[in-house]
Structure 1
Amino acid sequence: MKKTTKAANRLVVEEAAMDDVSVCPLHPATMDRLSIYQGDVVLLKGNRCRDTVCLALPDEECPEHALRIGRATRSNLQVRLADVVFRARVPRRPVRRARARPPRRRHRRGPRGGPRRGVPQAPLPRRLPPAPLPTAIQHHKQMAEKLLQFKSIMHAN
């Protein structure tokens, strides 16, 4: 005795030939009627508001009113063999690239711009003081040494 469903998107659960959690084989005519293409992501809703997603694959051996899912998927949906599940197609979304962004200024500081409380703050790097200028005495000593070197070179010639 065949169990049929009233709505097109309600399918009877049958045992899958292979126990793959990520796929649910459907008859090609059922896929055409529901406008599902091979490899589409399908949302299955079971008992007690349980739902899971899987990929739709065509299977000629599967009956038109049935959906073949594995044991793990049936347990996720909390359904048994010959139960009815609701099928919905998940809309395709464009693939987006993840971007790493620095935290916003509000999050680095407190909510009002002050330092965060309870979180240790790293000290801000300080600028090094400028190198000290030579004093007048050091300057005179350097000039005297240069003068002596110049005189010794001149007298040597």
Structure 2
Amino acid sequence: MKILVLNGPNLNLLGIREPEIYGKVSLEEIEKDLTGFAENQGVEIIFYQKNGEGELIDLIHRYYREIDGILINPGAYTHYSIALRDALLAVGKPAVEVHLSNLYKREEFRQHSVTAGACIGYIAGFGVDSYRLGLIALIDYLKRRDNDGASGKA
């Protein structure tokens, strides 16, 4: 099983960017934790952070044939990137959207996600644990889907 983990704009600044909201853990630390957890589950992850909307879309296009699912923190693109939403829908891979903070406790403009509707699930507000929870949910979903398909269940 292979999962693409995508991180949107400014997430490369985790650990220093507004630590009262996003915490003090760096994206590199999140990647290390997820990679170790995934390896213990027999799952390979491909991890990227890009500030450009087109770069994130290009990664989805590049990897969709070789991955089983997508874990994505679209960052600010959450709120307005129809193009990112369309890319997620176009490739037909199950995706889980994650956020460190609870968007519904933030500014009003942050309380809407255009990308979440292209995902099978959404996890937010648990800090760095949102990533691990999202990965667990995606792995479980993929295993259930594969088992149901193998047994002929719909």
Which structure has more helix as a fraction of its residues? 2
Which structure has more strand as a fraction of its residues? 1
Answer with 1 or 2: which has the greater Rg. Answer: 1
Give the TM-score normalised by structure 1: 0.21
